[in-house]
């Protein structure tokens, strides 16, 4: 397919359509309004497409529950405050083992916050987000190309594991245009037996999250947990950038990773051998892969557009085997690669290593 210059939000919309998404419900919120706008137009054009501008984010996610149960590839999108509202339904999707794709174009928070790019929803996304004992697969794209690829992958992962999948990006990723080539989507593999379409002449189906018997509920929790373990073993993804000879490894995702790459270029010009470890799956976090690096690297520097969330996963992964520095800029501030490079120069001495974050 041709290379096109497209805005991130629209890239997600187009990738979803190509992946066979035929149901979208959502409520406008900046900075992701182009997703519902794009879906309203495209779902009109494709056969069987349904678009609903719902009365709230809550309604949207529960419409997705219904459409997913009916067998459709379904998606909703929002930005931070709206994603908080959707958590009830995401918990329900996880409980009922229903596939769906949820897009979060993060903005500054907490509360109403602002509409600038931020990464403050990392905990919410990677720890389940709603009530109960569950996880959501979380993908953190860093380019428009990845928005396209990972959106398509998100639908496949959601089907394969019958679980909600979240695309976690931010206002900058949503608003920015970059060249994109849409790949051929894979044919859908999702057995009819999981769909609720009326019992016909057969046995009736029940989809529910309510399990009153504690032992039965426990078993259901373990069933989900076993599934999450398989996901954690098989689906982690990460990117290494100039890490082969690096003495200092930066850890950052999404927009943060882009800035980190710029900083690495500057650091190398100044003689500091820096590289990047970029988690692409934020849950499951590529723990083993990061720990593997700690066999030869003793200095890590976490950078995020929040006050210290990713750094906790890095600590869990490195388990004290390496020094961990930290720089965060929350609130919608997107620092320059030069700023990050300067911070690192102050914190990192090649002889003594990185100043540890307390």
Partner 1 sequence: MKKVFCRPKSMTDTVFHYCAGCGHSITHRLIAEVIDEMDIRGITIGVPPAGCAVLAYKYFNVDMIEAQHGRGPATATGIKRMLPDRVVFSYQGDGDLAAIGIAESFHAANRGENITVVFINNAVYGMTGGQMAPTSMLGQKTTTSPAGRASLLDGHPIQISEVFTLLPGTAYIERCTVNSPAAILKTKKAIRKAFEYQLDCRGFSLVEILSPCPTNWKMTPIESNRWIDEVMSKKFPLGVLKDLPAGEAKKGGKTP
Partner 2 sequence: MMVKTIFAGFGGQGVLMMGFTLAHGAMSAGYHVTFLPAYGAEVRGGTANCTVAVADEEIASPIASKPDHLVVLNTPSLYTFQNRVAAGGYLFINSSIITVDSSRHDVQIVKVPSSEIAEKLGNPRTANTVMMGAFLKKTGLVAPDDYLGSLEEVMGSKKKAIIEINRRAFAAGFEFLEEST
Residues that bind partner 1 (CB under 8 A): 22-23, 25, 43, 48-52, 54-56, 58-60, 62-72, 74, 88-89, 92, 96, 196-201, 204-210, 212
CA distance 27 to 226: 34
Q: Binding residue for partner 2 (CB under 8 A) from 31, 254, 279, 328?
A: 31
Minimum CB separation from partner 2 for residue 237, in Å? 18
CA angle 143, 148, 151 (to 5 degrees): 115
Residues in contact with 296: Cβ distance below 8 Å, sequence separation at least 6, in sequence order: none
- Cα angle value 336/244/239 (rounded, 5°): 60
Q: With binding defined as CB under 8 A, does residue 169 bind partner 2? A: no
- Which partner, partner 1, partner 2, none, binds residue 96 by CB below 5 to 8 Å per kind? partner 1
Using CB distances below 5 to 8 A depending on partner kind, what does residue 177 bind out of partner 1, partner 2, none? partner 2
Closest CA to 327 of 343, 342, 338: 343
What the block records as the tokens of 165 is 């999948």
Rounded Cα distance, 335 and 350, in Å: 24
The contacts of residue 349 (CB under 8 Å, 6+ apart) are none
| Minimum separation from the CB atom of position 245 to partner 1 (A) | 52
Cβ proximity to partner 1: between 193 and 295 the closer is 193
Asked if 175 interacts with partner 2 (CB under 8 A), we say yes
User: What is the distance between the alpha carbons of residues 7 and 43, in angstroms, rounded to a whole number?
Assistant: 18
Min dist CB 64 to partner 1, Å, is: 6
Answer for which of 263, 274, 314, 322 binds partner 2 (CB under 8 A) is 263
Q: Which does 85 bind (CB under 5 to 8 A by kind): partner 2, partner 1, none?
A: none
For position 249 contacting partner 2 by CB under 8 A, the verdict is no
Residue indicated by tokens 């690669």: 337
| Region binding partner 2 by CB under 8 A among candidate stretches 184-192, 214-222, 256-264, 323-331 | 256-264
193 binds, among partner 2, partner 1, none (CB under 5 to 8 A by kind): none
Q: Does 83 bind partner 2 (CB under 8 A)?
A: no
Q: Which tokens go with 257?
A: 């990773």
- Min. distance of Cβ 92 from partner 1 in angstroms? 5
Contact window for partner 2 (CB under 8 A) among 40-48, 159-167, 174-182, 302-310: 174-182
Tokens of 288: 């083993």
How far, in Å, CA of 166 to CA of 162, rounded?
Answer: 13
Distances (CA, A) of 306 to 8, 109, 136, 293, 326: 21, 10, 20, 24, 11
Rounded CA-CA distance 227/319 in Å is 25
- Give the binding site for partner 2 (CB under 8 A): 3, 5, 30-31, 115, 171-172, 175-179, 258-263, 265, 334, 336-338
């Amino acid at each position: 397919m041709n290379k096109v210059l497209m805005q991130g939000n629209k890239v997600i919309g187009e990738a979803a359509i190509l992946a066979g998404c035929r149901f979208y419900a959502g409520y406008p919120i900046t900075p992701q309004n182009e997703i519902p706008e794009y879906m309203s137009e495209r779902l009109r054009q494709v056969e069987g497409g349904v678009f609903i501008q719902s009365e709230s984010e809550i309604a949207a996610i529960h419409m997705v529950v219904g459409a997913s149960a009916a067998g459709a590839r379904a998606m909703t999108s929002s930005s931070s405050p709206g994603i908080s509202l959707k958590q009830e339904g995401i918990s329900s999707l996880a409980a009922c083992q229903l596939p769906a794709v949820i897009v979060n174009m993060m903005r500054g928070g907490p509360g109403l916050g602002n509409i600038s790019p931020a990464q403050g929803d990392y905990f919410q996304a990677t720890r389940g987000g709603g009530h109960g004992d569950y996880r959501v697969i979380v993908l953190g794209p860093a380019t428009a190309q990845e928005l396209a690829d990972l959106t398509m992958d998100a639908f496949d992962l959601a089907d394969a594991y019958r679980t909600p999948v979240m695309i976690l990006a931010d206002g900058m990723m949503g608003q920015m245009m970059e060249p994109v080539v849409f790949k051929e989507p894979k044919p859908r593999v999702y057995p009819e037996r999981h769909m609720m379409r009326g019992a016909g002449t057969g046995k009736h189906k029940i989809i529910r999250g309510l399990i009153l018997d504690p032992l039965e509920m426990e078993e259901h929790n373990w069933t989900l947990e076993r599934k999450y373990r398989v996901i954690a073993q098989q689906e982690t993804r990460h990117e290494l950038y100039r890490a082969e000879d690096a003495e200092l490894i930066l850890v950052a995702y999404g927009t943060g990773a882009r800035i980190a790459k710029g900083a690495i270029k500057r650091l190398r010009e100044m003689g500091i051998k820096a590289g990047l470890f970029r988690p692409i799956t934020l849950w499951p976090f590529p723990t083993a892969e990061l720990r593997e690096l700690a066999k030869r690297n003793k200095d890590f520097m976490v950078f995020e557009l929040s006050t210290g969330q990713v750094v906790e996963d890095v600590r869990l992964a490195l388990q004290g085997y390496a020094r961990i520095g930290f720089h965060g800029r929350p609130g919608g501030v997107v620092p320059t690669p030069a700023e990050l490079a300067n911070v690192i120069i102050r914190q990192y001495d090649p002889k003594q290593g990185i100043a540890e974050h307390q």
